[in-house]
Structure 1
Amino acid sequence: MKKALSCALIGTLVISLSPIQQASAQSIEDLNKEIENLEKEQNTKQNETNKLEEKQNETENKINDNKAEQNKTQSDINNIDQKLTDTRNKIDAKEKQIDATNKEIEDLTNRIEELKKEIKDLEERIEKRDKLLKDRLRSIQQNGGEMPYIEVIFGSQSFGDFISRSISVNKIMDSDKEIMDQQKKDKATLEAAKIEVEDKKEKIETEKANLEAQKKELESLKQDLDKQIAQKEKIMEKLEEEHNHLEEYKISIEDEKQILANQAAAAAKAKEIAESEKGKLEQAAREQEEKARKEAEAAAAAKKQASENNNTSSSSSDSKSSSTSSPSQSTPEVTTQSGGGNGTFSWPTSGTISSTYGHRWGKLHRGIDFAVSVGTPVKAAAPGVVIQTNKEHGPGMNGYGNVILIAHSINGETYTTLYAHLSSMAVSSGDVVSAGQVIGNSGNTGHSTGPHLHFEIHKGGWNGDANAKDPMNYLP
C-alpha cells in the first residue's frame, strides 16, 4: 500500500514535458510545502487536543461535584427516610394507644351503664327509705314528739313483758339506726359513683383528645417529610440526568481526542511518506546531476578529441543525442458518473445518488448517499492514511454504523473522507491506501433506512457540521 501511495504521489508531482532536473526540483518544493503543512496540522491537532484535555478535566471536575452532590442528596434522602420510618412507627404506636384508649372508653361506657343501674337501684332504695323515714317522723309528730320508749317499757305488766318490750324497743332503735346509716352510706356511695364515672370519663376523653392531637401532629410531620423526600428525589433525578449528560459529553470528548490522535498519527505518517519521497527525489536529482556532469565531461573530452582529429582527418564524428523519458503516471479508474466538480476526489462507488448534501428536517445531511445494494465495493476517493475505523456497536460516531475515516493531503491542503453504514471493512487504523483501493463493502448498519453508502468530505480534520463540504464540488 505504501508503495502504491508513493507512486501516486510521484505521479502527481512530476511534469512530464519538463526536464527531469526541473521536475525533481518542483517535486521537492511541493513536498517541502506538504511537509510544512503537515507539521502545521500536527501542531494544530496538538493544540486542539490540549483544549479537549482542558474540557475533559473541567468535565471530570463537574462529574466529581455532581457525585458529591448526589452523595449529599442521597444522605439527606436516607435521613428523611429514617425520620419517615420513625414517624410511621410513632403513628402506629399512637394508633395502638388510641385503640387501647377506645377500648378503655368502651369498658368505661359499659361500667357507666352498670353504675347507672347501681345508681338507679340506690336511688330506689333511698327513695323507699326516705318514705319510711318520713312515715316514722310523721308518726312521731302525731304522738307529740319523740317516741315514748320509756313509757312503753315501764308500762309492762310483768317482768317477762318488760323483757319483751325492752327487746322490741331495742330492735326498733337498731332498725332506725340501721336505716339512717344505710341511707347515709348509700348516698355517699351514690355520690362517689357519680364522681368516679365523671372523672374517668373526663380523663379518658382528655387522653383520647391528646392522642388524636399527637397523631395529627405526626401525620402533619409525615406529610412534610413526604414533601421533603419528593423534593430530594426530584433533585436526585436531575443530578442523575446531569451526570448521564456529563458522562456522555466526557465520552464524546474522548472520541474527539481519539479522532484527533488518529488524525495526528495520519499526518505523521503522511509526513514520513512525503519525507521519504523527498529523499528519493533528492537522490534522483543528485544522480541526474552526476550523470549530466559526466555527460558534459564526456562531451568536452569528445570535442577536444575531435579538434585534435581535425588536424589529421576531415571526417566528422557522429553526433550523439540523448533522450529522457518521464516516469509514467498511472491514472486511476474513472467512473462514468459526472459530478461537475474539480475532480480532487474520485467516486467512492458506482450507483445512483439517492440523497444530496444539504439541510433537511432542521439538520445538516453532511454528505451524499449512493443507493447501492449490500456488498457493493467501496473505494478510497484519494490516496491517504486511515484515521480510524469504528464498528457499529463501538464507541463514538453514533449512527454511522461501520465507518471508515481517511486523512488526505492534496495540493498542500488536508481533507478527511468518511464512508458510513458499511457491511464490512478491509482496512484498519494507520493503513496507507491508494486512490481506488477497495476499503470495504456497502451495507445497512447504524441508523440507516436501507442499504446505501453515505460519503462525506471534510476540509481539514473531521469536525461534524463545522467543516463538512458538498462532495459534488470535489468529484469529477
Structure 2
Amino acid sequence: MHMKRLMAYIVMLIVVVSFFFPYAVSAQSITQLEEELAELEAEKNTIDRNASNAEQKLKENEQRQAEVNAEINNITNELEVTEANLVDKQVEINETSQQIDSIESSIRKTEIEIELTEKEIVDLNAEIDDLITRIAERDDLIKNRMRSIQQNGGDVNYLQVIFGSQSFGDFINRVAALTTIIEQDQWIIESQQADQVDLENMRVEVEEKQNKLIVDKENLEDDKNELDRQRTNLVAQEKELINLQDRLNEQMDEQSNLLVTLEEEFEELEDYQVTLADLQEIQRREVTALQRAIELAREQERGGQGIGQLSQDRSGGGRAVLAWPASTRRVTSPYGYRTHPISGRQSFHNGIDIADPGYQEIYAAEAGVVTATFTEYDGRMNGYGDAIMITHYIDMNGDGNRQQVTTLYSHLRSGTTLVRAGDQVQRGQQIATMGNTGNSTAQHLDFEVHIGTWNGRANSVNPMDYLN
C-alpha cells in the first residue's frame, strides 16, 4: 500500500510539477503558466472522472464478491448434503453387504443340509431295499400259507387237525399249535401292512424334505441376487455422489480462486482510489503552487524579485550553489550505495543523512517555491515521514542557463513544518525541525537534490557537490 502511494507521489510530482516549472525560467511567460494551469485543471477533471469510475468499479466488485460468496455458500450447503448422503449410502451398502453375507451363510448351511439329506436318502434307500426284501419274503410266506390252506380245503383242515387228536392232551397241543400258526399269519399280515405304510411315509417325508431344501436354496439364491442388484445400484449411486462431490469441490475451488482474485482486485482498486485521492490533493496543492508561480512571474514582470531572479548571483560550474540545510554539519551517511540501517541490505541512498541530537533547525537550501509538504495531517511520504519538497531555478553548470532543481527534506519532527505548498521561501529560511519520523533509526535529516522534478534515484545527484 505505502509503496504504491509512494510511486503515485513520484508519478504525480513528475507530471504535475513539470507543468509549471520548466528547466529554464527564461522560456517561461505568464501566458504559458496560465496555459499550464488550464492543462492542470483539465488533468484534474480527468482524475476526478477516474476517481468516479474507480468508485463505481469498487461497488461492482463488492456486488460480484457478494454473488460469489452466495455461490460459495450454496456449494457448501450442497457439499454438506452430498457428504451426508454419502454417509447414508455407505451405511446402506454396509447393511446390504451384511445381508448378503448372511444369506450366503444360509445358502452354505442349506447346501450342507441338502448334502446330508441326500446322504440320508441314500441310507433310506438302503433301508427301503431291506424292507422291500422283507416284504417280498413275507409275501412268499403268505402266498405259501394261503396256497397250503387252499390245497387242503381251507378251514376244514383245521377241524380235521383238532378232531384227529388221539387224546385230550393231544387236542390241547393241536389247538395251541393252530393258535400259534394263526397268530403268526396275523402278525405277518400286520407287519406287512405296517412296513408298507412306513415305506410310503418315509418316501414322502424324504421327498418333502428334499423338495423343501431345494426350494429354500432357490429362495435364498433369489434373495441374494436381489441384494446383489441392490448393492450394485447403491455402489453406482455412491459413485455418482462421489462424482458430484468432486464437481462441487472443483466449483468451490473455482469460486474461491475467483473470490481471491476479486479481493485482490478490490484491494488494488482501493489502492488506486487512495492514489487518486492523493493525486487530487497534490493537484490542489500544485494548483496553489502554480498560481503562486504566476504571481511571482507577474512580480518579476513588474521588476520585482520573482522566482526567475532568485539565486541569480550563484552559479554552478564546480562551485557550491546550495546553502547547508541544517544547523549541524555532521554527515552520518553519504550519497550512494550503503547497507540500509533497517533492512540490512545493500541499497542506493539518494541523498545524505545529517544528524545530531537535540534541537536542530532545518533550512531551505535555496530560494524557491514549496512544491508539496507531507505531514501527519496531509499525507506522509511513505518511509520518508514528514517531508518538504521545494523547487528552485539555479544555474547549476555556470553556463547562464538556470534549470529546475528539487530539494527534499525528510524525517522532519512531527508538527514542526513551517511552510505549505505554494509558499515562497528564501535561502536559509527555517522550514522545519530535525526529527525521526518515517523509517528511521534516530533523529536525522535526509537531504536530497534532484535535477528537475523529484524522481527517486533516476535524477538524484550528490548533494555534497553543490553544498557550501
Give TM class, smaller chain. Answer: 0.5 to 0.7
Deviation at 1:454, TM superposition (A): 1.7
Out of 432, 435, 442, the position equivalent to 1:443 is: 435
- Structure 1 residues 45 and 357: alpha-carbon distance in aligned structure 2, compared to 1, 3 A threshold: farther
Q: CA deviation at 1:91?
A: 1.4
Structure-1-length-normalised TM-score: 0.64
Whether contact under 8 Å (1:340, 1:473) holds in the other structure is: yes
Query: 241, 250, 268: which is aligned to 1:227?
Result: 250
Match of 1:418 among 408, 423, 428: 408
2:84 is matched with 89
CA drift of 1:96 comes to 0.8
| Corresponding position of 1:452 | 444
Question: In structure 1, what is the equivalent of residue 210 of structure 2?
Answer: 187
Pair 1:379-2:374 in alignment: no
Residue 234 (structure 2) pairs with residue 244 (structure 1): no
CA distance in 1, matches of 2:431, 2:362: 6
| Distance of 2:129 and 2:66 partners within structure 1 | 89
Q: Which residue does 2:278 correspond to in 1?
A: 255
Q: Does 1:111 align with 2:106?
A: yes
Same amino acid, percent of matched pairs = 30
The 2-side partners of 1:146 and 1:258 are apart by 139
Aligned to 2:173: none
Q: Equivalents in 2 of 1:150, 1:389: separation in Å?
A: 150
Q: What residue number does 1:99 align with?
A: 94
Aligned match for 1:175, one of 180, 195, 198: 198
Deviations 1:238-282 (A, max 9, x none): 33223323322332232222112112123334555776898997x
Distance 1:446 1:342 in 2: 30
Aligned partners of 2:205, 2:109: CA distance in 1, in Å?
21
Report SS of the residue matched to 2:412: strand
Match status 1:211 vs 2:234? yes
Inter-partner Cα distance in structure 2 for 1:200 and 1:122 = 23
- Paired with 2:283 and 2:403, the residues of 1 have a C-alpha distance of 17
**Which amino acid in 2 is paired with 1:427?**
L
Offset at 1:449?
Answer: 5.4
1:397 corresponds to which of 362, 381, 395: 381
Residue in structure 2 matching 1:351, options 319, 329, 332: 329
- Aligned twin of 2:160: none
SS in 2 for 1:95: helix
Distance in 1, matches of 2:379 and 2:296, equals: 30
The one-letter code matched in structure 2 to 1:105 is: I
What is the match of residue 427 of structure 1?
A: 418
Q: Distance in 1 between matches of 2:380 and 2:64?
A: 29
Give, as a single letter, the amino acid of the residue that structure 2 aligns with 1:423: R
> Matches of 1:236 and 1:58 in 2, distance apart?
21
2:382 aligns to what SS in structure 1?
coil
RMSD: 4.8
Please report the TM-score for the alignment, with normalisation by the length of structure 2.
Answer: 0.65
How far has the Cα of 1:95 moved from its partner?
Answer: 0.9
State the one-letter code of the partner of 1:441.
T
Residues 38 and 144 from structure 1, CA distance in 2 versus in 1: closer, same or farther, beyond 3 angstroms? same
Does the CA contact (< 8 Å) of 2:351 and 2:447 recur in 1?
A: yes
Distance in 1 between the 2:126 and 2:187 partners? 28
Distance (whole Å) between structure 1 residues aligned to residue 132 and residue 288 of structure 2: 133
Hey, what's the Cα distance between the residues in 1 that align with 2:382 and 2:351? Answer: 16
Give me the whole-angstrom Cα distance separating, in 2, the residues matched to 1:57 and 1:146.
129
Could you give the per-residue CA deviations for residues 57-84 of structure 1, whole angstroms, max 9, x where no partner exists?
5544554554455445444434443333
1:452 deviates by: 2.9
Taking a change above 3 Å as real, the CA distance of residues 457 and 171 of structure 1, as seen in their structure-2 partners, is same
